[in-house]
C-alpha cells in the first residue's frame, strides 16, 4: 500500500525492527504493527503474533525476547496492534472491551461495527501491506498469540487454513463463549445470538470439524499459576475438543508460570522452533 509509513527502524541481532503505520480499509483507521526482518535478502517465512487485552504492537516487540532466536532461524515476525484506535473510534472504560480489546473478529453491532473489523484486518489488510512492501514468503505463514491473541491465533487459523501453515498459542482464551471475557465481548460485538459466537470460539470450531487435518500439530503452553486459568482460559475445553476431532494437540502445562511476558520469554524459543519446522 502506498500509504505505508516506517515510523522507527532499529538494528537488532543483525536484522531490523520496524514500527509501521498504514491505512486499513477494514477498520477505516490507521493501524500500526511491528516487523522483525532477519539479516539477508529474503524472502523470509513469516510468523504473525497477536497480543492480548490492553496490548499494542509494542508489547511483544519489547518484552518477548524473541528476536535473537528469530534471527538465528531466519524468521520474520509481524505483531499488529490489538484494535483500531483514534478519534471517532468507539471505546469503553473497561479494559476488556473497545480499544485494546478487538478480539480478532468483525463486529456486527453498533457502535463497534463501524471500525472493529479485526478479522478482516488480520487476514486481508495486514497480509496485503506485508506482501507488497517487504521480502516475505507469503506461502510460508504461521500464527501465534497470547491470551486474547491466543484466541485470535487459534480461531483465525481454524477459519483460514489457506493462510497459515502452523499455529501455536500461549495461555489462549480457548472458548470465549464460555467465559466472562468472551461473553462480555461477544455480546457487545456480535449481539445476543449465541449461535453467531460459535464461529469465533476455538473449542467449538474444533468440535465442528473446522480445518480438520489442516495442521499436523497445535502447540499451546499454559502456566499453571495463571490467575485467569480456571475462570477465563479453560484449556481443558480445547483439549477435549481436539481429542474428539482427532487433532493432535501439544498442551504443555507449565508449573509455577503465570500470565505475564516472563512466561512468554521462557518458552518463546520453543514456539519459534515449532513454526520454523512447519514453515521450512
The domain spans of the chain are: 5-278
Average pLDDT, whole number, for the chain? 97
- Radius of gyration (Cα) for the chain, nearest Å? 17
**Annotated catalytic residue: which of 115, 200, 259, 275?**
259
Average pLDDT over residues 145-169: 98
Residue 147 annotated among the catalytic residues of the structure: yes
User: Do 254 and 202 meet the contact criterion of CB atoms below 8 Å apart?
Assistant: no
What integer pLDDT is reported at residue 233 of this predicted model? 98
Q: 150: part of which helix (H) or strand (E)?
A: helix 148-159
- For 189, 213, 221, 265, the CA distances from 262, given in Å and listed in that order, are 31, 33, 13, 5
**Annotated catalytic residue: which of 106, 166, 226, 271?**
226
pLDDT over threshold 60, residue 2: no
- For 42, 90, 129, 148, 171, the CA distances from 167, given in Å and listed in that order, are 22, 31, 21, 15, 13
pLDDT over threshold 90, residue 211: no
- For the residues of 64-105, what is the DSSP string, one character each? S--HHHHHHHT-EEEEE-SS--STT----SSTTSBTTB-TTS
User: Cα(183)–Cα(256) distance, rounded to whole angstroms?
Assistant: 28
Banded pLDDT at 165 (limits 50, 70, 90): very high
Residue 10 annotated among the catalytic residues of the structure: no
Rounded to 5°, angle at Cα 181 from 208 and 100: 110
User: Do 103 and 9 meet the contact criterion of CB atoms below 8 Å apart?
Assistant: no
What integer pLDDT is reported at residue 214 of this predicted model? 87
Share of the chain above pLDDT 90, in %: 97
- Residue-wise pLDDT tens digits, 147-158: 999 999 999 999
Share of the chain above pLDDT 70, in %: 99
Q: 142: part of which helix (H) or strand (E)?
A: strand 136-145
What integer pLDDT is reported at residue 188 of this predicted model? 98
- Residue-wise pLDDT tens digits, 222-262: 999 999 999 999 999 999 999 999 999 999 999 999 999 99
Indicate the DSSP class of residue 43. Answer: P
Cell of 33: 504493527
Average pLDDT over residues 92-102: 98
Residues in the chain, total: 280
**Annotated catalytic residue: which of 147, 166, 168, 175?**
147
Beta-sheet strand order (sheet of 166-170): 5-12, 15-24, 29-37, 76-80, 44-50, 136-145, 166-170, 218-223, 249-254
Which residues does 157 contact at the CB level (< 8 Å), separation at least 6? Answer: 143, 164, 167, 211, 214, 215
User: Do 245 and 215 meet the contact criterion of CB atoms below 8 Å apart?
Assistant: no
Banded pLDDT at 64 (limits 50, 70, 90): very high
As a dihedral over the C-alpha atoms of residue 34, residue 40, residue 46, residue 51, rounded to 10 degrees, the angle is: -30
96-110, 195-209, 210-224, 235-249: range with lowest mean pLDDT:
210-224
- Residue-wise pLDDT tens digits, 8-25: 999 999 999 999 999 999
What integer pLDDT is reported at residue 210 of this predicted model? 85
Looking at the DSSP bridge assignments, the partners of residue 253 are 222
Residue 131 annotated among the catalytic residues of the structure: no
CATH code for the part of the protein at 5-278: 3.40.50.1820
Cell of 24: 486499513
Banded pLDDT at 1 (limits 50, 70, 90): very low
User: Cα(221)–Cα(214) distance, rounded to whole angstroms?
Assistant: 20
Amino acid at each position: 500500500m502506498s500509504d505505508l509509513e516506517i515510523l522507527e527502524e532499529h538494528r537488532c541481532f543483525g536484522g531490523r525492527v520496524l514500527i509501521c503505520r498504514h491505512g486499513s480499509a477494514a477498520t477505516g483507521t490507521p493501524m500500526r504493527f511491528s516487523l522483525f526482518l532477519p539479516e539477508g535478502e529474503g524472502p523470509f517465512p513469516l510468523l504473525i503474533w497477536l497480543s492480548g487485552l490492553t496490548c499494542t504492537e509494542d508489547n511483544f516487540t519489547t518484552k518477548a525476547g524473541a528476536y535473537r532466536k528469530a534471527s538465528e532461524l531466519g524468521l520474520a515476525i509481524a505483531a499488529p496492534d490489538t484494535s483500531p484506535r483514534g478519534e471517532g473510534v468507539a471505546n469503553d472504560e473497561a479494559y476488556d472491551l473497545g480499544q485494546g480489546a478487538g478480539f480478532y473478529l468483525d463486529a456486527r453491532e453498533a457502535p463497534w461495527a463501524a471500525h472493529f473489523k479485526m478479522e478482516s484486518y488480520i487476514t486481508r489488510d495486514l497480509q496485503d501491506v506485508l506482501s507488497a512492501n517487504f521480502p516475505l514468503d507469503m506461502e510460508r505463514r504461521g500464527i501465534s498469540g497470547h491470551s486474547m491473541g491466543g484466541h485470535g491465533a487459534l480461531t483465525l487459523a481454524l477459519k483460514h487454513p489457506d493462510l497459515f501453515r502452523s499455529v501455536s498459542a500461549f495461555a489462549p482464551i480457548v472458548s470465549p463463549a464460555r467465559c466472562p471475557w468472551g461473553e462480555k465481548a461477544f455480546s457487545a460485538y456480535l449481539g445476543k445470538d449465541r449461535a453467531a459466537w460459535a464461529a469465533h470460539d476455538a473449542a467449538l470450531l474444533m468440535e465442528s470439524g473446522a480445518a480438520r487435518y489442516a495442521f499436523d500439530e497445535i502447540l499451546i503452553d499454559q502456566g499453571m499459576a495463571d490467575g485467569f486459568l480456571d475462570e477465563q482460559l479453560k484449556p481443558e475445553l480445547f483439549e477435549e475438543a481436539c481429542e474428539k476431532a482427532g487433532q493432535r494437540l501439544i498442551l504443555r502445562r507449565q508449573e509455577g508460570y503465570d500470565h505475564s511476558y516472563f512466561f512468554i520469554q521462557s518458552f518463546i524459543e520453543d514456539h519459534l522452533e515449532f513454526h520454523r519446522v512447519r514453515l521450512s
